[in-house]
Structure 1
Amino acid sequence: MEALALRLSGLDPYVDGAIRVVAFYDTLIRRRVDLPALARASAGLAECVTGIRLHGTGHTTRVSPHGTAASTPPAPASTTAAITLDEEEIGTVWLERPGPPDPLDEILLDRLAIAAAAVAERYGPARTTMADPALVELAISSDADEAAGARALRLLGFAADQPVHVVAVRTRLPLDRISGLICPGRPAKAAPLADVGVILAATVDPARFPAGVRAGIGSAGGPHRSWRQARTALRFTTPREPVIRHTALGALALLAETPPDALRDNPDVVAVARLADFPEDLETLDAYCAAGSLRRAADLLHLHHSSVARRLEQIGKTLGIDLTDPTGLTRARLALTARRLLDG
């Protein structure tokens, strides 16, 4: 192979330069350099400012040809390349060369991107968002011993003392896209488990979930406890309230621990179930329970409050509950929530 490379290099100066660039980065990879050393070596080879950025950390390294941190303001990149790992883009490398790109810049950046991916994977955690489902399952499982769970978290990129929220998600959108939205610039890992998506994140912004996503968010306790909470919170989500933190449920979370037969046999739950044949009435009751007042329910339904009042009077008779009474409203809320839990 080396003899062939020598023959090729003698035929074409570009091939000679390309072979030298490849050999340069092969040596760096074998020496297991870290990202700063990789950036310094690349800047020296390219003889211009060189940059490396990993999306997962948000950290950017810019190095001058002298091997020091670039002190000049970032210039427009003359050439860029994506860092990919496991078919996911995890970062970017670029050159800030004044004037036109050098003929070897493209191959230099290609090899730099490959080397950066190898470094990210080795020194990790690898900053990909999608993770091995088996590893995620081990991290959140209550059956795994503590040491195995801690090791799984470490392999996923979370430090032992770092708080981790677990999010249970139902969506048709890619999980990595959702992870990037709800936890920008911080560690996040995602994997599908059965019919539910799982996201482990250092922090979660509920307001950043895209439309059409249902999500339950566990607290930042142990991952297995947070996973249990996330699944519970997911059961309480509705089209009107698609994202719920478990901590926001309070005593309502106790309903999820009530045996299904006990819920199913409750007279109020039975009465609410009968409303399933009348979607308009069910929507009115839902809006009233969510709003807590007649006028706010009318605003949600885009109806006149007198129309909503007539509907609620009829619904109250059907349920056998006085919806104008605070106790009656509480009963309706609990029955409606219990029915949703039974319906999954």
Structure 2
Amino acid sequence: MTIVRQPTRAGVRDAAAKMTAILPPTPLLIAEIRGVDVAFKAESLQPIGAFKIRGAWHRLTTLDEAARKKGVVAFSSGNHAQGVAWAARELGMPAVVVMPDDAPVVKRESTLALGAEVVGCNRLTDSREKIAAHLAHARGAVLVPSFDDAWVIEGQGSAGIEAEDQFKELGFDGIEHVVTPCGGGGLAAGLALALPEARITVVEPEGWDDMRRSLEAGWIEEVPADAPPTACDSLQTRRVSQLTFDVLSRRSATGVAVSEVEVRAAQRWAAAKLRLVVEPGGAVAIAALLAGKVEPAENMLVLVSGGNVDPSAYAAVLGRAD
């Protein structure tokens, strides 16, 4: 019987120490929503434009020299791909990423520019997980999932440790409520481990809110085959992992879903109020507050998880009034 390593708060703290050694903290920005000052963690300003650099770095730095020579294989629509590619480049390792053919061009090009090999697949008919597993087996490489991995979860949670320190530096009380985007749940689970006293709310696009439904049901619910299209490509996970579900379930986390119109409004608000370029998936937590689905409160931490936008799509969003 294979024993699956479980993510821990100690592991999150180890990951945070690793991040402190290589990168400065991402900014904590304060902005008012309905008369309340709220703190926004700008993970969109990471070197790869997303928080995924954290989990990738924590995971890849655990590999020994023999494993590093054979490299890693990942599967991703773009942000995890860039995180793995960046970490692999810094560590001198080969990296292969299985990426849907319809992934944003900017994310594909960035992954290639970081030195990774990209293998395309059809999002609807292919299993990128199976393709990646076959490639890893054939090459003797290490498979690095985007969220179903204890080290990756711990790495993402380092954002919470960092934010907690920033709250203290600003003279705030401790973080009481975390509102975070959620795809497979790696970031949300990591934050739940990092901040054990905080309330956790996950936010997903409408029709892709499988973590919300899973937490309400008490077991994992998959995204239905007829899920509606969404601009939140980074949150299009059809099934969350047992690892992330278990962490969030134990913490009694809750979830809400936001519409495409609400996401676009959040992107515009982030540009105007935070001066941040935010991709659709990175804006869903902001959308939940603006739409009144989560009430703003003191000592609240909101994650702005990514900023890798398609330039033309983003320009269209800024030019809309819906």
TM-score (norm: length of structure 1): 0.26
TM-score (norm: length of structure 2): 0.27
Between 1 and 2, higher relative CO (CA 8 Å, sep ≥ 6) is seen in 2
